[in-house]
């Protein structure tokens, strides 16, 4: 519940930032209306198109049970255990080891894994990864992350337009009041940075929740912990390069560090995730007796 509340607060902050920027820059009621409209359009676009875009970005291809029987049966087993419809299964070509889920709800979802991850993970670790992605679907994190990415993108686009207006012409004006010069400056300099930080904070929060859901779904937190450690090593050698806006969807992002590194990372550090999983292992062992 704590992570869900934190996510809602961050999403509300992100949408509020978009509305406030429009108000500051354009001015008056026109700016407010445009900001609300941008937020609404961004959210609506994410709702219907985010899954298709993510799959296209990573060149994921749909596969049938005949093509990948072991993976297909694993997804089906875990979906049945979680009491959700089985998502579509996709394969991402290449030796990079990673995975992600996408879709606006459990009825319109997909799980994608790379060819590389199928080659390096033993069955119990792959099961932990699949359970992690299914938890994202159950929690509707796939939609949450898509909305965050789209709204953050709209903020960056608005800031870019303001920057162009500063170079090539005067800003817009409203009948009620002129655009706020301080708002314009803050938009150009700080808004994209703030939006990115909030978007990444949402992603990190959802990763901890998905790890916990995987641990409970499989009953084997240590398997996912081993998988994350293995995936981090391989991801540093063979990163899955694509649009940075979709990095929060991936199960692992090798870029991590201490304060500033974590602030600008789409994922918590692997060390922190492993630590939480091992704590969950102890809790599950205690409740079993």
Residues recognised as catalytic: 133
* Token pair in block for residue 281: 């292992």
Task: Give the number of C-alpha atoms closer than 13 A to the C-alpha of residue 106, restricted to the C-beta side.
Answer: 11
Distance CA 89, CA 82 (A): 16
Count Cβ atoms below 10 Å from residue 233 Cβ, excluding itself.
14
Segments in the chain forming alpha helices (H): 2-26, 28-57, 69-82, 115-120, 123-138, 141-168, 181-189, 191-218, 221-237, 259-263, 270-288
Measured CA to CA, the distance from residue 14 to residue 122 in angstroms comes to 39
Q: What angle do CA 226, 252, 250 make, to 5 degrees?
A: 135
Closest CA to 162 of 187, 190, 193: 187
Which whole-number Å values give the CA distances from 283 to 135, 136, 187, 226, 269, in the listed order? Answer: 19, 22, 46, 18, 22
CA separation for the pair 179, 172 (Å, rounded):
7
User: CB-based burial of residue 86 (10 Å sphere; 0-12 exposed, 13-18 middle, 19+ buried)?
Assistant: middle
């Amino acid at each position: 519940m704590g992570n869900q509340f934190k996510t809602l607060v961050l999403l509300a902050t992100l949408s509020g930032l978009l509305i406030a920027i429009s108000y500051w820059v354009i001015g008056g009621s026109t700016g407010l209306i445009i900001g609300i409209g941008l937020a609404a359009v961004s959210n609506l676009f994410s709702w219907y198109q985010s899954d298709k875009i993510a799959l296209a970005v990573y060149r994921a291809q749909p596969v049938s049970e005949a093509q990948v029987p072991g993976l297909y049966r694993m997804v089906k087993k875990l979906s049945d255990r979680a009491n959700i419809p089985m998502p579509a299964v996709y394969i991402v070509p290449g030796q990079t080891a990673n995975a992600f889920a996408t879709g606006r709800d459990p009825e319109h979802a997909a799980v994608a894994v790379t060819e590389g991850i199928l080659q390096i993970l033993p069955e119990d670790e792959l099961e932990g990864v699949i359970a992690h992605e299914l938890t994202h679907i159950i929690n509707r994190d796939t939609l949450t992350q898509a909305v965050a990415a789209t709204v953050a993108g709209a903020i960056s686009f608005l800031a870019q337009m303001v920057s162009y207006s500063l170079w090539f012409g005067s800003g817009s004006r409203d009948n009620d009041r002129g655009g706020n010069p301080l708002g314009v400056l803050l938009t150009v300099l700080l808004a994209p940075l703030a939006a990115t930080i909030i978007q990444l904070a949402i992603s990190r929060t959802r990763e901890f929740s998905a790890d916990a859901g995987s641990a409970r779904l499989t009953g084997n937190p240590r398997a996912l912990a081993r998988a994350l450690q293995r995936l981090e090593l391989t991801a540093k050698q063979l990163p899955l390069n694509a649009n940075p806006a979709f990095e929060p969807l991936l199960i692992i992002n090798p870029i991590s560090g201490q304060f500033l590194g974590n602030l600008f990372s789409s994922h918590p550090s692997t060390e922190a995730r492993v630590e939480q999983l091992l704590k969950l292992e102890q809790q599950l062992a205690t409740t079993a007796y």
